[in-house]
Structure 1
Amino acid sequence: MGIVQRQGLRNTVISYFGLILGFVSTTLVLPRFLVPQQLGLTGTLSSLATLFAQVAALGFASVGIRFFPYFRNRENGHHGFLPFLVGVPLLGFAVVLGLYLLGRPTILGFYEQDAALLDTYYLWGAVFALFTLLYSLLDAYLKGLYHTAFSSFLQDVLLRVLILAGALLFAGQWLTFHGYVLWYVGVNGVLVLLLTGYIVRIGELHWRPRRAVLTVRPVRELLGVGAFTLLSSLAGSIIMYLDTLMVGAQVNLAAAGIYQIAFNISTALAIPARSLNKIAFPLLADYWKQQNMTGMAEFYRRTTRLNTLIGCFLALGIGLNLDFIYSLMRADFAQGTLVVLLLLGSRLFDGVTGVNGLLLVTSPRYRFDLIFNVSLSLLTIGLNLVLIPRLGMVGAAVAAVAAQVSINLARTWFVWHSFRMQPFTWRIPLILGIAAVAGGAAWVVPAVGSPFLTMLLRSTVLTAVYGGLVLVTGTAPEATALLQNVRKRLNM
């Protein structure tokens, strides 16, 4: 087994374990120990640091992955690629840091109710951003070297374990909340040190600058690709983090904490789609290379059907059992119930519209994906500015639904108009109908003595009705074929 296969297998195991660990810690454990305002503060610092780091990076993390093969030469220190990869973003960090410090009164002015609390940790936000920036650059360097498993372990597993450990220390009164925030920031620095140590261990810390780095590829080309990537990554980050920032600014940090937990609960719906997309990306690229439009269209329809089938089941499972999920947290977080339902609708629609984004970004018209992402960001910002002052954190969720539905409809139409491919068959409305019937059957199950027992009963009814109708109607050929194989083995 080659290095790419070994690293890929390890990454898969680490990724799935990390997703489960992340969901349990950020959704079920941290809300038991931290009040909404405290979670809102750490979430705001994390969002600010991520956006700060991405602007400072100038898109160089992606540049490192894309162009490293041209610089690869271990005997020659890869032509000084590592100091170039880190050095340019550090210059960007210095510029953004100056703007961050000068903009302190303006940024804190958005957080009128919690300005004093946020001000206490404002400079730590810059430290957090530096750690985030360095980690992303070193991670990109290791990806170019095909050493990705250790970095994935640090980010997906160790970081979450350390944050969880800090929360447990806080709950046991070994740390004050101030100490927990410094712990929360500091563990990101620990990851940078561990990643640097790993690079030293594999003998790839080539830190000596070389003039040759400026001649292997035109610097103008590197900066141009970096600028394009910066816009694309910023658009994605705005979609991911802006809601929490704007809720905190226009309502308060407590509302931001409640919204963040609601957002985390809804992310469970995105896990299957993300896993499928990891497979879909290289397959779609290969279809484009072969110009196999028929195979691509069939793949487009099949993945849409699977996303819809799994997404409807998970959305119902989460939505019907929110009382149980919130019973595991402080009572204040239950104020996010409607937010969860709205965000589940947004993520479900994103799955139902298929892999249109991946299909577009792997196509010859990939630049249009940036237009859609930027449009989604601007639409989200505009709707948040209008709706959050009127509806609070629910307004942010309504904005997310409206923006996602609008852009996904536009992107789906664009794919159809450009390539004459659309993802819908008669099975999609049938799945939605089955979901409505199964959801209704589970919803009428009365609440019993405890939220846990109610969850078990409703989940059992939902699974039996949903799974039974899917098999009887032949909605999912893959499930029918799997059942037939199981029956054959049992009859042997």
Structure 2
Amino acid sequence: MGIVLKQSFRNTIIIYSAFLVGGINTIVFYPRILESEFYGMVTFLLSASNLVMPLTAFGIQYTIVKFFSSYETKEEKDKFLSSVIFLPLLIAIPLGFMWNYAHDWIMSKVTVENQIIEDYTFSIYLIAIACAYFELFYSWTKVQFQTVFGNILKELWNRVVVFLLLIAVSLDFITKSDFILYLTIAYIIRAFVMMFYAFYMYLPKFHFKLPENYKEILQYSLYIILAGSAGAILLDIDKIMIPGKDTIEKAAYYSVAVFIGSFIEAPSRAMTQILQPLTSKSLNEFNTKEVENLYKKSSINLLLVGGLFFLLVNCGVSELFKLMPEKGYAGGEWVVLMISFAKLYTMFLGSNGAIINNSTFYKVTLPIALGMSVFVYLLNKLFYFNLEFGTDGLALATLLTILIFNTFKLWFVYKKFSITPFTPKSFKMGMIILFMFVAFYFWDFNLPELEIMEFSITPIINILLKSIIITLVYVFVVLKLKVSNEIDSLLKRFYK
């Protein structure tokens, strides 16, 4: 786990730095500068591009990770990379010619009040293509076991660009419409930067010959493209469905709550960058013992770190919403709780997804992804449109879908590999999180109202004091009970 923890630690710092910038954008700048209507439109455009991206990527980002380590000679590796680099164009080019039809279909799914979207739908296409090629070249560097620079581009680039563009809008350097244009250009530039770095890390001698196992590559890519497209529905379909029923401002309100709830998943995203290629390598070498070792250690370490942020987020969220400028943003505590719990359960599964995606049983990802997308869509229709649960219903649909299908994935890996992420420490860690949640969730410091330039800082002080206490108690208990050897060693560097 040495390389895993080393790069995961760096990636976690990067991702939480990105979340910090993103938090400033989401909680402070977006609502005040773009305001809820335009912010809701940006949310819609980015969510729509996330739905299109897996289709245009052709699954190549996963194909590179799965197959690269299986080739033994440089010539074989070069043939492989030469053949996959152009595959996304097979879908991207025809899709571009048909975009007028896609535009008309998108506009038919939004209400009359949300026609502001109409002038910006082509950004969905451009951002999707840029993200597809970014992911391709990011995987290119992952198989070289270099994930940090790509992670900076993936997590920090866009948020810093948004931060700068929002300031530019506030100073009247650019208009709100220009904001969309420059954000789209930033995604395109990011893809080119990632490409240059990927070629710097590994520049193949380009061949115009297909690798011998090209049929297997195409078959895998087709499965993954379908699975990825279906899986993207789970992540973004709720934000896409909101303008079909309510005003687009609701998408902004819901997006903020989802962002806060997703804050806890940064360690998982960081560790996955290096776990994917390592798990693939172990599977290609038939080293089941190492696969199990990665499975168990990633599970307990992600549960430990994710558990702390789960507590910090949920025990301070009510105070955090008091800082929002519009009342529509408040009242999202249940959304935050459900989304964060879904993320925590996914983190508990550790490298489960990497095992399935990179094994000979990868075909099961398609029915799982299709099942999840259909299930969450039907639950969204039931809870949001029929039962009028509001955005709480959208979050509940996501939570139930993740609980059910991730449990199936847990069982599937056990059935095929006879391994689980469970250790005696898993139960111990779960009890720590539960008891501390009950202890800290229902109270806040009763502080007097304090203001600086007519801005109340009482919620900020409350959050800081409560977070310090939770962190100190959590770290003390975790060290006392020796839950993770890796975390123990890391923490002891700071207090010895």
Hey, what does 2:120 align to over in structure 1?
A: 121
Report deviation, 1:230.
Answer: 0.8
Matches within 5 A, 1:208-227: 213-217=208-212, 220-227=215-222
Amino acid at match of 1:314: F
CA contact (8 A) 1:56 1:93 kept: yes
Amino acid at match of 2:465: L
Structure 1 residues 80 and 300: CA distance shift in structure 2, 3 A: closer
From 391, 399, 402, give the equivalent of 1:393. 391
Hey, what does 2:172 align to over in structure 1?
A: 173
1:102 aligned onto 2:101: yes
Distance in 2 (alpha carbons) for counterparts of 1:284 and 1:137 = 18
Hey, what does 2:22 align to over in structure 1?
A: 26
Q: RMSD between aligned alpha carbons? A: 4.0
Amino acid at match of 2:468: T
Distance in 1 (alpha carbons) for counterparts of 2:87 and 2:380 = 34
Report deviation, 1:170.
Answer: 1.0
TM-score (norm 1): 0.81
Hey, what does 1:461 align to over in structure 2?
A: 469
Distance in 2 (alpha carbons) for counterparts of 1:17 and 1:164 = 19
Structure 1 residues 398 and 221: CA distance shift in structure 2, 3 A: same
Residue identity (%): 19
1:333-382: CA deviation from partner (whole Å, max 9, x where unpaired): 22432211111111122233444333434444333244323322222222
Structure 1 residues 71 and 184: CA distance shift in structure 2, 3 A: farther
Report deviation, 1:408.
Answer: 1.7
Distance in 1 (alpha carbons) for counterparts of 2:5 and 2:178 = 37
Mean CA deviation greater in 193-202 or 374-383: 193-202
- Please state whether the residue corresponding to 1:321 is helix, strand or coil: helix
Structure number, greater radius of gyration: 1
Structure 1 residues 185 and 221: CA distance shift in structure 2, 3 A: same
From 221, 242, 245, give the equivalent of 1:247. 242
Mean CA deviation greater in 165-174 or 229-238: 229-238
Distance in 1 (alpha carbons) for counterparts of 2:67 and 2:152 = 24
Report deviation, 1:125.
Answer: 2.5
Amino acid at match of 1:391: F
Distance in 2 (alpha carbons) for counterparts of 1:279 and 1:147 = 8
Structure 1 residues 479 and 51: CA distance shift in structure 2, 3 A: closer
Distance in 1 (alpha carbons) for counterparts of 2:199 and 2:488 = 50
Report deviation, 1:383.
Answer: 1.4
From 243, 259, 262, give the equivalent of 1:267. 262
Q: How many residues align?
A: 475
Amino acid at match of 1:171: S
1:438 aligned onto 2:433: no
Unaligned runs of 5+ in 2: 449-457
Hey, what does 2:329 align to over in structure 1?
A: 333
Matches within 5 A, 1:154-193: 154-193=153-192
Hey, what does 1:424 align to over in structure 2?
A: 422
Distance in 1 (alpha carbons) for counterparts of 2:320 and 2:60 = 40
Distance in 1 (alpha carbons) for counterparts of 2:18 and 2:136 = 23
Hey, what does 2:455 align to over in structure 1?
A: none
Unaligned runs of 5+ in 1: none
Amino acid at match of 1:104: H
Report deviation, 1:314.
Answer: 1.6
Distance in 1 (alpha carbons) for counterparts of 2:269 and 2:360 = 23
- Please state whether the residue corresponding to 2:332 is helix, strand or coil: helix
CA contact (8 A) 1:39 1:257 kept: yes
CA contact (8 A) 2:444 2:466 kept: yes
Matches within 5 A, 1:332-371: 332-371=328-367
Structure 1 residues 150 and 233: CA distance shift in structure 2, 3 A: same
CA contact (8 A) 1:30 1:167 kept: no
Amino acid at match of 2:59: G
Report deviation, 1:295.
Answer: 6.4
CA contact (8 A) 1:239 1:376 kept: yes
Amino acid at match of 1:24: L
Structure 1 residues 47 and 429: CA distance shift in structure 2, 3 A: same
1:371-407: CA deviation from partner (whole Å, max 9, x where unpaired): 3233222222221222221222211100011001111
Structure 1 residues 198 and 294: CA distance shift in structure 2, 3 A: closer
Distance in 1 (alpha carbons) for counterparts of 2:493 and 2:135 = 45
1:204-235: CA deviation from partner (whole Å, max 9, x where unpaired): 698xxx9x624544654443232122123223
CA contact (8 A) 2:292 2:420 kept: yes
Distance in 2 (alpha carbons) for counterparts of 1:135 and 1:12 = 20
CA contact (8 A) 2:342 2:403 kept: yes
Mean CA deviation greater in 243-252 or 312-321: 243-252
Amino acid at match of 1:374: L
Distance in 2 (alpha carbons) for counterparts of 1:201 and 1:303 = 30
Distance in 1 (alpha carbons) for counterparts of 2:361 and 2:132 = 30
From 470, 475, 478, give the equivalent of 2:485. 478
Amino acid at match of 1:392: G
Distance in 1 (alpha carbons) for counterparts of 2:268 and 2:147 = 22
Hey, what does 1:89 align to over in structure 2?
A: 88
